[in-house]
Amino acid sequence: MALTEKKIGTALIIISKDSPSVAILNKVLSDFSKEIISRQGLSLKDRNYNIISIIFEGSIDRINSLAGKIGRLNGIKIKLLIAKN
């Protein structure tokens, strides 16, 4: 498999309401807008969380870069699911 081969997948991002990193998260998502096909947000007010789900298509390097940058943010968790060919 070539490193530049594009993969399709999804990510679930869970954000604590008190997370200080929301502005940084939005900047990271904007930086990866070429890979993001769809983005949906949901506020769970009674649980003090916000959830963003994204569908993306990109190289493994770009997907891992996106997940790594988001995963290092305070109060934010990310889980990926990448489709097999």
Mean pLDDT, range 41-52, rounded to an integer? 94
Q: Of 40, 47, 46, which is closest to residue 11 (Cα–Cα)?
A: 40
Rounded to whole angstroms, the Cα distance separating 53 from 72 reads 18
Confidence of residue 66 (pLDDT cuts 50, 70, 90): very high
Arithmetic mean of pLDDT, 19-48: 96
User: What are φ and ψ of residue 67, in 5° steps?
Assistant: -65, -40
Radius of gyration of the chain (CA): 13
Q: Roughly how many angstroms between the first and final C-alpha of the chain, as a whole number?
A: 10
User: Quick one: tokens of 5?
Assistant: 């081969």
The per-residue pLDDT for 4 is 74
Q: Is the pLDDT of residue 3 over 70?
A: no
